[in-house]
């Protein structure tokens, strides 16, 4: 059993990850600005004193917050706290940094990518690069969902999905989807059996 601290733990992805981890017997503390109830705590990832205190004894720090909320600037602090606790960092990422084909453009750079998502997607592109530049003694993983992912595209829990690397996974019709529960399964699987140390991977049906 591991101890997880999930920042953004009452949001869509963070909540699904917290739920999945608890179902497997892990100890989970869900942190958000307005957290209430058992197993939750109110606080901010961007408060360095709170971050250090909340992370004490953690095995995994799960970062499930918006990229545009200042996440890039917080990466050094997150890395230091993880090192101090011997913890791994798991990041809920975006799909925009995935390439549409091997050697092809990133999804965010295609004409079809919606303008309203470019700010958040661009922020997560920078966050991923910041993690890739961290020293070798910082252990992290970054999970990009499929292009269609969120409460608006919720699906049933199936336990069936595919994993990929830096290239967007699509189905036979060109669609790219993953439900929240199945994304969480893939995320917690990586915690239980690490196979992507200091790597980004993606998950889709």
**Mean pLDDT score of the chain, rounded to an integer?**
96
Render pLDDT for 28-41 as a digit per residue (tens, 0 to 9).
999 998 877 789 99
Q: Is 131's pLDDT higher than 80? A: yes
Percent of the chain exceeding pLDDT 90 equals 92
How many helices (DSSP H) and strands (DSSP E) are in the chain? 5, 8
- Per the structure, how many domains does the chain have? 1
**CATH no. for residue 74?**
3.40.50.720
Percentage above 70 pLDDT, the chain? 100
Global pTM value = 0.96
The secondary element (H helix, E strand) that includes residue 164 is: strand 162-164
Q: Which of the four pLDDT bands, split at 50, 70 and 90, describes residue 18?
A: very high
Check residue 21 and give its pLDDT: 99
pLDDT of residue 200: 99
Domain that holds residue 8: 3-204
Query: Are residues 147 and 176 in contact, defined by beta-carbon separation less than 8 angstroms?
Result: yes
């Amino acid at each position: 059993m591991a101890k997880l601290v999930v920042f953004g733990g009452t949001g869509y992805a963070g909540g699904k990850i917290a739920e999945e981890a608890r179902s497997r017997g892990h100890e989970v503390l869900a942190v958000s600005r307005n957290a209430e109830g058992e197993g939750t705590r109110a606080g901010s990832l961007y408060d360095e004193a709170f971050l250090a205190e909340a992370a004490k004894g953690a095995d995994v720090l799960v970062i499930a917050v918006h990229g545009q909320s200042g996440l890039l600037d917080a990466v050094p602090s997150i890395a230091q706290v993880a090192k101090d606790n011997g913890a791994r960092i798991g990041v809920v990422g975006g799909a925009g940094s995935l390439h549409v084909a091997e050697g092809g453009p990133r999804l965010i750079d295609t004409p079809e990518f919606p303008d309203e998502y470019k700010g958040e997607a661009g922020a997560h592109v920078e966050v991923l690069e910041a993690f890739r530049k961290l020293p070798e003694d910082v252990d992290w993983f970054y999970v990009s969902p499929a292009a269609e992912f969120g409460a608006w595209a919720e699906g049933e829990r199936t336990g069936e999905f595919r994993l990929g690397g830096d290239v967007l996974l699509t189905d036979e019709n060109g669609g790219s989807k993953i439900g929240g529960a199945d994304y969480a399964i893939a995320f917690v699987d990586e915690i239980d059996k690490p196979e992507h140390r200091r790597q980004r991977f993606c998950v889709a049906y």
